[in-house]
Structures are given as structure tokens and as C-alpha cells.
Amino acid sequence: MIIVASTNGLIGMPAAVAVLRAGGTAVAAVEAGIRLVEANPDDHSVGYGGYPNIVGDLELDASIMDGRTLETGAVAAMKGYTHAISVARQVMETLPHVLLVGEGAERFAAEMGLVREDLLTDAARATWEQRLRQDMPADVFANLRGDIPLRDWVRLATDPERARGTVNFIAQDAHGDIACGVSTSGWAWSYPGRVGDSPIIGAGNYADNRYGAAACTGMGEMAIRAGTARSIVLYLKMGMSLTEACAEAMRDLRDLGGRFLSVMNLVALDKAGNPAGFSSIPDKTYIYQRADMEAPVEATRTHVPLPARWQG
Ligand code: GLY
């Protein structure tokens, strides 16, 4: 039994491990861990307290995948409900669909009995305002919800190195079953309605009991274009080791063309219970904890440089 997570998952690790120790499923462990990250107001990349899009709306994306059946549920661009991962799980477990977006996801969250809240904290709102005022005249800032074109302002305001984040959790339970969950408030200051890799199965999340699981943080557009999480699991199926599979996925990302490229981080687990972490940023870490360990291990991800480009 093991939990693997991005380092910002530390706050949820005890809850996830407790689920496994109590005989719970990998799906339940992933949800339990991510819920605590979503509720953490100090994590500005996930759930409550996340940074908003360019017009000041906080939109959440999440997905969960059950490696036993390859069933999955996801929500995207959902406003007003902290626990996007729980809504995603209910999509998986109660609907014949896999992905709900926007108002449909919000209606479904309300049907689940969740209470609508304002998720934008004063701290996140202040950072949004300060950051955007640096880049745009006061009349543009005042009219962001009006009819001004946002295209150029999104490119200016978005910081490719610092304005993203996401949480990944992968669990393997006592039965050897694997699940993977991802939750994010997406790319800060992005165009309204922008959806990243986190709710896109195969891009930011994939789990298959037969081989393993993988999840991404970083520039979601890159993971969508390269099909990164699914590629890692497919490379495992083709017989590569976990290290080889992650390295191959990083090579796919390295070979992407185009004008906008930034960072990518991977966590992965093979069916034998071995964890791995890769990143295009030096010295970046991930965490894992086996059920018989007292505390999580913080391990350095294998560094694979990727080209960075930011051209208009
Ligand atoms: N990786 C999260 C996002 O790009 O939205």
C-alpha cells in the first residue's frame, strides 16, 4: 500500500494513508487526501483560496480514475464548490458520463447537496489585483468584465513560471488496486473558460491496475498535446520500466513545437508499487508514503530540461 503525491499534497497525506490502513479503497484514499489540499487556503493552486482567471473568477478542474475498471469522472471550469475531487468522484460513480463543465458541473454539485461558497479569499483577490495592475492600464483593469478583447492581456499577465499549480495523488490499496486523482484551480489569470490537463483523462491523469498510473502538474496545455499521463501507462504496457516510461514521456514533451512551452512535472507509480517523479525544474520534489511508514518521504524528481518559449 502506498500513496504518491505532488509535494503540496503533504497536508492530505495522513488522511490518505489512514484510509489505506483502515482497509479503504485507493479511490477513497485519493479523494481523502485531495480534499484537504482543496480546503487549504494557503495553497493558491487548488480549491478554496486558489488564484482566479483574468476577470477574477475562480474556476476549478478535477478528475479521478479507478484503475480497476478504467472508470473516471471529471469536472472543469466549475465555480463555487471547494471539493471538485468529490464532485468528480460522484460523476464517476453515479452518472453515465465522464466530464461535466461549468454550469452543468455546478448544478450536479448542488444536487449532491454541496453548499455554494465564495472560494476567492481576500489574499488571492489582492494578489490578482496587484499582479494585473502591474501589466495593464487602470481603464483596462476596470473593464475586464466588459467587452474589451482579453487575448493580448492574457498573454501579458500570465506568468509562465509561477502562475500554475495542481495537486496529484496516486494510491495503491491492500488489494493492489490503483487510483489517481488531480485537482487544480488551473492557470492563474488565464482566459475565462480555459481548461488544463487536470480533468482531461489521458493528459493530466491516468490509472490502469494492469500497469500503473501517472499524473501531471505544470503547463496543462503541454500534457494535453502530448497525451502525457496515458503515454506513461502505455509505455509501461509496452514493457518499459517506470523510469524509462517517464523519461520517454519527457522526451515527447521536449519534442513539442509551437510558441508556448513551459514547465512539466510528473508523478507515477507502477503496478509493483514503485513510485517515480520527473520534472523540467531542477531540485523539484514529490512525496510518497507506504502504509507501514511513519511519515512521508520527500524525494527529488529526476530532472529533464525542457525548452521554454513564450512568444506572442
Ligand atoms: N496542470 C494544471 C493546469 O495546467 O491547469
DSSP 183-234: EE--STTPPTT---STTSBTTTEEEETTTEEEEEEE-HHHHHHHTHHHHHHH
Q: How many domains does the chain have?
A: 1
Q: Mean pLDDT over residues 26-49, rounded?
A: 96
CA angle, residues 183, 184, 190, in degrees to nearest 5: 155
**Who's near 158: CB < 8 A, 6+ residues apart?**
187, 188, 189, 190
CA–CA distance from 168 to each of 14, 126, 234 (Å)? 15, 27, 19
pLDDT tens digits, 121-141: 999 999 999 989 988 899 999
pLDDT at 309: 85
| Main-chain dihedrals φ then ψ at residue 235, nearest 5 degrees | -65, -35
The residue among 93, 111, 153, 98 whose CA lies nearest residue 128 is 153
Residue 115 is classified by DSSP as P
pLDDT at 163: 56
| Main-chain dihedrals φ then ψ at residue 177, nearest 5 degrees | -75, 145
Q: From the CB of residue 130, how many other CB atoms can be counted at a distance below 10 Å?
A: 9
Model confidence at 156: pLDDT above 70: no
pLDDT tens digits, 195-254: 999 999 999 999 999 999 999 999 999 999 999 999 999 999 999 999 999 999 999 999
Model confidence at 191: pLDDT above 60: yes
For CA atoms 230, 176, 91, 97, give the dihedral sign.
positive
pLDDT at 134: 86
121 is annotated as an active-site residue: no
pLDDT at 267: 98
**Who's near 91: CB < 8 A, 6+ residues apart?**
73, 74, 75, 97, 98, 99, 100, 108
Question: 58-72, 258-272, 298-312: which has the minimum mean pLDDT?
Answer: 298-312
The rounded distance, in Å, linking the Cα atoms of 228 and 97 is 22
Model confidence at 159: pLDDT above 80: no
Model confidence at 287: pLDDT above 60: yes
Model confidence at 71: pLDDT above 60: yes
The rounded distance, in Å, linking the Cα atoms of 86 and 28 is 10
pLDDT at 312: 60
pLDDT at 234: 98
Nearest CA to ligand 1 atom 4: 220
Model confidence at 186: pLDDT above 60: yes
Q: Mean pLDDT over residues 250-264, rounded?
A: 94
By most ligand atoms within 8 Å of CB, the mutation choice from 217, 262, 267 for ligand 1 is 217
The residue among 103, 131, 263, 265 whose CA lies nearest residue 189 is 131
pLDDT at 154: 83
pLDDT at 228: 98
The residue among 85, 129, 128, 126 whose CA lies nearest residue 109 is 85
7: left (phi over 0), alpha (psi -120 to 50) or beta: alpha
218 C-beta closer than 6 A to ligand 1:
yes
By most ligand atoms within 8 Å of CB, the mutation choice from 34, 159, 197 for ligand 1 is 197
Q: What is the 3-state secondary structure (H, E, C) of 116-140?
A: CCCCCCHHHHHHHHHHHHHHCCHHH
Q: What is the CA radius of gyration of the chain?
A: 18
pLDDT tens digits, 73-123: 999 999 999 999 999 999 999 999 999 999 999 999 999 999 999 999 999
Residue 113: give its domain's CATH number.
3.60.20.30
Q: Residue 220 CA: which ligand 1 atom is closest?
A: 4
Model confidence at 164: pLDDT above 80: no
Domain that holds residue 237: 2-310
The rounded distance, in Å, linking the Cα atoms of 228 and 187 is 18
The residue among 202, 204, 199, 212 whose CA lies nearest residue 171 is 212
Q: How confident is the model at residue 157 (pLDDT cuts 50, 70, 90)?
A: low
59 C-beta closer than 6 A to ligand 1:
no
